[in-house]
Amino acid sequence: MCGRFTQTASPEVIAQQFALTDPPLFTPRYNIAPSQPIAAIRIDPDTTTRTLVMLRWGLIPSWAKDAKIGNQCINAKAETVAEKPSFRSAFKKQRCLIVATGFYEWQVRGRVKQPMWIGLRSQHPFAFAGLWEHWTPAEGQPLETCTIITTEPNDLIAPIHSRMPVILAPTAYDQWLNPTFQHNESLKVLLRPYPRDELMVYPVSTLVNNPRHDVPQCLEPVSVKGVHYRPACL
């Protein structure tokens, strides 16, 4: 699964990386957790251009009667996303890019769960494959929510966790965002594990275990017995 991630790139870098007209307005995040607002890019139906919006993490299907379902829909499996009722409608025409600079996974080491941070070796921001939905409750304000698609891990992540978020190649952005492109099999081809040689991994402090800790110290490497850290790999 993907239950925590980071977005520490500057607005100017985000605008350049994702071909946005204007730099977005948001601050760096070091420990993003479910139910929080996260930065996502989708196609504006009026201008047909990319636009950055803030969506609540935890997808609530349009047909849901209770917002609590969003707590169970922070991730969608690539293998079943096109068929599962919670996601199939969004998969057809409401796809988005979730902006990130890295993500956390917890590796079980005996009785200890060691948090690990994973990002690109290039240190550039990237995009998770995401889906979004618009939900209108019986009472109250409408919500726009999202989920992150996961896939099987590559061999770098496999010793850490049984799943990893789908990181899209920049060449796939246009096809993924295009709401008129609805060929399921072609879209599912994009949902593959990211190449291991382009990722780096290192252990971080258990400070990140608490989502209230959203500080730069969450990203600082730590020394862990039995783990030999190198900047480019584990």
Mean pLDDT in the chain? 94
Give the pLDDT confidence of 168-189 residue by residue, as tens digits: 999 999 999 999 999 999 999 9
Q: What percent of the chain has pLDDT over 70?
A: 96
What pLDDT is stored for residue 135 in this prediction? 96
Query: Which run of H or of E encompasses 53?
Result: strand 50-57
- Residue among 205, 11, 196 nearest 119 (CA): 196
Q: Cα–Cα distance between 218 and 193 in angstroms, integer?
A: 25
Fold of 5-219: hypothetical protein yedk fold (3.90.1680)
Rounded to the nearest 5°, which phi and psi values hold at 13? -65, -40
- The answer to whether the CB of 128 falls within 8 A of the CB of 167 is yes
| Non-local CB neighbours of 84 within 8 Å, separated by 6+ positions | 76, 77
The token pair that represents 121 in the structure block: 């070796």
Q: How confident is the model at residue 225 (pLDDT cuts 50, 70, 90)?
A: confident
pLDDT in tens, 56-86: 999 999 999 999 999 999 999 999 999 999 9
- The 8-class DSSP code of residue 138 comes to S
DSSP H/E element including 189: helix 184-189
Q: What is the mean pLDDT of residues 109-138?
A: 95
Cβ atoms of residues 181 and 191 within 8 Å: no
The partner residues of 25 in beta bridges, in order of sequence, read none
| Catalytic pick among 12, 79, 96, 105 | 105
- Active-site hit among 2, 73, 96, 146: 2
User: Which are the contacts of 63, defined by CB distance < 8 A and separation ≥ 6?
Assistant: none
Confidence band of 232 (pLDDT split at 50, 70, 90): very low
Q: Which of 103, 102, 104 is nearest to 123 (CA)?
A: 102
Place of tokens 């730099």: 23
Is residue 2 part of the annotated active site? The answer reads yes
Quick: pLDDT tens for 24-67: 888 999 999 999 999 999 999 999 999 999 999 999 999 999 99
